[in-house]
Amino acid sequence: MTRPSRVLVLGASGFVGRSVCACLAGRGVAVRALTRDTLKARPLQVIASLELVAGTPHDDGDLARALDGADAVVNLVGILHQSRREPFEKVHARLPARLAGACRAAGVRRLVHVSALNADPAGPSEYLRSRGRGEAALREEGAGLAITILKPSVIFGRDDSFLNLFAGLVKPLPVVPLAGAGVRFQPVWVEDVARAVAHCLEDPRTAGRTYDLCGPTAYTLAQIVRFVAAQQGLRRAIVALPEWAAYAQAFVLEHLPGPVMTRDNLASMKAESVCGCPFPPEFGFEPAAMEAVVPEYMAAAGLRGRYAAYRGRTGR
């Protein structure tokens, strides 16, 4: 197996996809991005070597055309909240099975699939169960393919939907009612996930392997919320909700436009998002801690950012 020279990335215009595309391009790989939303994919156009292909991975014809001439594929397609148009089963389970078949038909043998920590067909939430069914379908339908599965914990970064969600919530609330306050997470930086994807494509020894990806430190959700508030110069009291109140809160929130929390999200937290093993040593680097990365971009929304804006207005 040789290092791939042209890689198709599915989910390229998403939060993780943008980092993966930039990382691969920086290593001299020709990147092809299949996207149905050219406006959302506009940030990718700064990558000179990237080729944008209009279409959706859920259409067999679009997928076949995107695979033509590629020698590897990275699947990053995933959703946190399902809808009638895009249920978890379609996105997380059926797509990996279809992708494996399409790869075989196109002669593309190398596939890196990004799933989720705790993905399991018997998991506590439909999100995790559908992720687990997708992994199982990929292994079953991908006979003869060189497949690597990555299972990250929650992923943080400048444009994430995790830390930034809490950053928005703590601003107007002096007291934060928090479901799952004591649940532990081990967040991993998006750039480290991108480096892991690139390494797997370059190292044939990772084929046939499954890797859990976590950052160096585990935190309770309450600790994470306090950390995010502190980056903005805020101190917030946190009230840990009992199970019945957390369920009621999630029920209300999931019926709002653009839900920030659902009952299925709450069910996912029954399995703590922490790794029982160190970061894979064969990747050749140590993952970054939140404390080393987040202040560089989130502090702009806090006191230092306000002081900088004041100095700018006064000409200092």
pLDDT tens for 171-218 read: 999 999 999 999 999 999 999 999 999 999 999 999 999 999 999 999
CA distance 36 to 15: 15
- The residue-averaged pLDDT of 1-18 equals 89
pTM for this predicted structure: 0.92
- The residue-averaged pLDDT of 136-144 equals 93
Asked if 14 contacts 114 with a C-beta cutoff of 8 angstroms, the reply is no
Cα–Cα nearest to 210, from 276, 136, 128, 150: 150
pLDDT at residue 105, as a whole number: 95
Q: Does 314 have pLDDT greater than 70?
A: no
- Using left for φ > 0, alpha for ψ between -120 and 50, and beta otherwise, residue 77 falls in beta
pLDDT tens for 251-267 read: 999 988 878 899 999 99
pLDDT at residue 2, as a whole number: 65
Q: Does 75 have pLDDT greater than 70?
A: yes
At the fourth CATH level, which superfamily is domain 6-157+187-213?
A: NAD(P)-binding Rossmann-like Domain (3.40.50.720)
Q: Does 160 have pLDDT greater than 80?
A: yes
Phi then psi for residue 184, to 5 deg, are -95, 140
Residue 84 is encoded by which pair of tokens?
């009638």
